[in-house]
Chain A
Amino acid sequence: MAPAIELLGITKRFPGVVANDRVDLVVEEGEIHAICGENGAGKSTLMKILYGMLQPDEGRMSVDGKEVSFKSPSDAIERGIGMVHQHFMLADQLTVLENVILGSEPMRSLGRIDFEKARQDLATVSQAYGLTVYPDELVETLEVGERQRVEIIKVLYRGARILILDEPTAVLVPQEVEELFRNLRELKEAGSTILFINHKLEEILVIADSITVMRQGRTVATVKPADVTAGDLAELMVGSELPSPSTEESTVTDVVAVSVRNLTVLDDDERTVVDDVSFEVHRGEILGIAGIEGNGQAELIDALVGTRTATSGTIELEGEDATTWPVRDRREKGLAYVPQDRQREGLLLQAPLWENVALGHQTQAPFVRGPWVDREGSKKRTMEVIDEFDVRTPGVDTPAHALSGGNQQKLIVGREMTSNPDILIAAHPTRGIDVGAQAEVWRDLRRARATGMATVLVSADLEELIGLSDTIVVMLRGRLVARLDPEKVTPRVLGSYMTGAALGEGGS
């Protein structure tokens, strides 16, 4: 029998990067096939090609033994391929039913939608695969897990036999992950083929029948879960030449730089998302904050930087009470910030690089002189940043959007380091950038630490946290639930704290 999917020599280039480099992939019918790899390894690009959202520059694809070339998702849908996107493709103001039938609506005369038939079809699909949804609810009111079910039903409703799931567990809490896996197994029983993108090794080993590992745009191996350990997979994913993010000897001093006491922060919907958090960071120390995304880390960071006001509790910077200071005052006191979403919070994409480097320092020399912008000074300093942090760009007047992700990130890190800050708040500083840039960012963080900078580091990359941090705290549902020694902790143990599984076995 022909494999469900066969890819041969697929290559896809973007300006400046080869996202997929002669990728080969074989997915047998009726299996759960995991694709794993680091951020930027080319997984998502490959899936978009498979779903017709992108067209490959080279290579061949066949589905069920027949060669295909997709111009749009419609072609892929026609071939029985469906995709569950990482960022849900659901309209909040439409009902579940409307979201599901969109694009393949059952019709009556006069262009009317046959809602009765649609409802029945939906019920049939949801019963057949044990996926419960309420057709008339607005998507807006659904929880994340429910939304994902709607996405899966959407795909099944179109009669897809091959499902692509792009990082489906990234947004789920552990119980929801279990539920999802149960659903996936039922789908497999019913004869579907599932392609599952992930970079969480434990999850892959639990659910997959075969695993393909990607690294730097290439497929490096296809293995069976029984034959490998998580360690083997990790090595395949990162390769052996990868510099590990280790911090050598301790530089921690006993001078407190950041002191947070009983901090409570509400989110936009006025729910408590940071709940009575206290910690201290010393000069020369990197404090790592671990936690599954959405457990309050983002809001804690916002409160530290000053873009979100604390409801109660205090924040002291270098011994001064900074709880009510605006962002600018904190920055002038030596606080630097590497945001988690560089395009949303870090850069003025349309503005030239030198203005981007000036941002955040626009009250300080050499960027300004009195009330005036010092263009010469700013450009000179920008050149220094470009030079020192190896930002690859045609010039200081190039707009920021033209740079690749890694270079944008290096620019931000460089900008924040250029004022020799005392305190650095860094959120996912290496997310979505290539391995080389990642190593450089790590090097920069270590260097600054050695000169006495205090760092608060939030990251989803556990290796990074363990490698860089002097202390690790775990955040769960807005609280700090554990304080761990990075010398002794493994990713697996850390993960069990993050999910709450290990609580009571040695927490704070």
Chain B
Amino acid sequence: MTAMLQRFGALPAWARYSLAAAAGILVLTVVQSLEPGGLERLTSGTASGAMLRWGVPILLAGLGGLYSERAGVVNIGLEGMMVLGTWFGAWGVLNGGPWMGLVYGLVGGALGGLVHAIATVTFKVDHIVSGVAINILAPGVVRFLSSELFTDFAGGSITQSPSIAPLGNVTVPFLAGGNILGWRSPDILGAIDRWDIFVLSDIASFGRGFVAGVGIFTLLALACVPATAWLVWRTRFGLRLRIAGEHPTAGESLGVNIYWQKFKGVIISGALSGLGGAFIAMELTGFYREGQVQGRGFIGLAALIFGNWRPGGILVAAFLFGYPFGTALRDLDGRSTHALLLLIVVGLVGIMVLSIRRGKRVDVFLSGGMAAGFLVWYLMTETAPSWLPNALPFATVLIVLVFAAQRLRMPAASGRAYRRGGDT
């Protein structure tokens, strides 16, 4: 098994992720076959499509967190910056159409980031304190703005904007039967799905969700993942950003302006969370409504940690956390979501096996006990409660932290006040 793991680790990143995804679908297929009465297949294209849509805000918030923390500033103000993004996004659409909504959302979030940067970098206020302040301030600001601006619109109120248009969708030709110049191409993945072959059809169906009727906004968000990887790890901007989070004094001693790096990181952080907020308003609900962020900024923070401060990891986490929302949306009787409990059991048993191999007795008992608890829950109930998808991301991250807090690599100087010319 160790040899297998090593060989797996030696594969290129894209192959590792694809293999892991295929394995994930295999597990889903097996899990759902134990739950035959469910209305919704866990591996259906609608499930993956919904996962994608619900994952995007989490992804954007998580990436936002990445820029900030890589520059050494902890940002729990992500939530507030997303709130700004929802409002500004809606306001932008009302003023200049969907693309303007995107830009406004970005700028609105960036303004939140600017406030956080000024407080933490210029005035050295504790990062958590400033984040909490922004989370308190942002809902007040948007409520005030709504009362001033949305109430003038028909259908708008102090808590809600009129409905707004999304950016539109694309369907990829051949893979999912998209149109080319008016000609409807064959829907290959759809066909495979209909053959109903074990796992293969599931993969096709699941994959089709990624290529059929995908929002342009979603695609832009997904493009941020490789863009971030490239920007942060291949460019001068990225290297200097990272030194601010890892060892600012070293950067300073080589003439890098650390304050400026931190400002850039935190403002980009706000911009991406703002984009995530705009996505919620434009693509998920179709209008701005007060309180619609619903802790997604915090889920983004969770995704950042789960993803070990790396873009690929954040993407995986965003899908993982978005998935239950996606299935729950169509899973009216809660039976498909119920199968997710079994998924948690599988994960915990995996941790238990690893702990046995590492000889960590406490971990074995802890993970074993938790696995048993979730198994009992699974066996004793018929359906999953509606709140499960909401709580699942947080519970997952807490479990991951309990067993792997020491293995995660947060930027070394993240959260510490940095003062120019200060002695280390």
Contacts and interface: CB of A to CB of B under 8 A. Distances in A.
A158 B253 CA distance: 12
Interface of A: 51, 53-54, 72-74, 77, 83, 85, 87, 89-94, 98-99, 101-105, 107, 110-113, 115, 154, 158
Chain B: interface secondary structure? helix
Interface in B220-236: 234-236
Nearest to B252: A73
A111 to B, nearest CB: 5
A113 B234 contact: yes
Contact of B254 (A104, A112, A113): A104
A115 B251 CA distance: 19
B229 to A, nearest CB: 13
A121 to B, nearest CB: 15
6 contacts: A73-B253, A89-B253, A91-B247, A102-B256, A103-B255, A104-B254
B250 interface: yes
Interface string B386-424: 000000000000000000000001011000000001001
B137 interface: no
Given A91-B250, A102-B254, A112 B243 contact: no
Contact of B235 (A91, A104, A112): A112
B331 interface: no
Given A89-B247, A94-B246, 18 more contacts: A53-B253, A73-B253, A77-B255, A87-B424, A89-B250, A89-B254, A91-B242, A92-B246, A92-B412, A94-B242, A102-B251, A103-B254, A107-B236, A112-B234, A112-B235, A112-B236, A115-B234, A158-B254
B249 interface: yes
Point out which of A90, A99, A103 has the most chain B C-beta atoms below 10 A from its C-beta: A103
A158 B251 CA distance: 14
B236 A105 contact: yes
Residue with the greatest number of chain A CB neighbours at <10 A, chosen from B234, B253, B411 = B253
**Majority-rule SS of A interface residues:** loop
A274 B120 CA distance: 43
Contacts of B250: 89-91, 99, 102
Given A102-B240, A112-B234, A53 B254 contact: no
A50 to B, nearest CB: 13
A89 B255 contact: no
A93 B234 CA distance: 15
Of A77, A94, A105, A115, most B-chain CB atoms within 10 Å: A94
A91 B412 contact: yes
A85 B253 contact: yes
Contacts of A101: 239
Nearest to A76: B255
A151 B252 CA distance: 15
A113 B243 contact: no
Contacts of A89: 247, 249-250, 253-254
A91 B246 contact: yes
Contact of A113 (B239, B246, B249, B252): B239
Contacts of B239: 94, 98, 101-102, 105, 113
A369 B81 CA distance: 51
Given A73-B254, A77-B254, A91 B234 contact: no
B255 A74 contact: yes
Contacts of A87: 424
B235 to A, nearest CB: 5
B198 interface: no
A73 B254 CA distance: 7
A111 B235 contact: yes
B255 to A, nearest CB: 3
Nearest to B409: A93
Contact of A73 (B237, B247, B255): B255
B308 to A, nearest CB: 11
Contacts of A91: 242-243, 246-247, 250, 412
Contacts of B254: 73, 77, 89, 102-104, 154, 158
B411 A93 contact: yes
A93 B412 contact: yes
A84 to B, nearest CB: 10
A345 B252 CA distance: 28
A39 to B, nearest CB: 15
Contacts of A104: 254
Interface in B246-270: 246-247, 249-256
Contacts of B421: 53-54
A91 B249 CA distance: 10
Nearest to A44: B423
Interface string B81-113: 000000000000000000000000000000000
Interface in B262-290: none
Nearest to B421: A53
Contacts of B242: 91, 93-94, 98
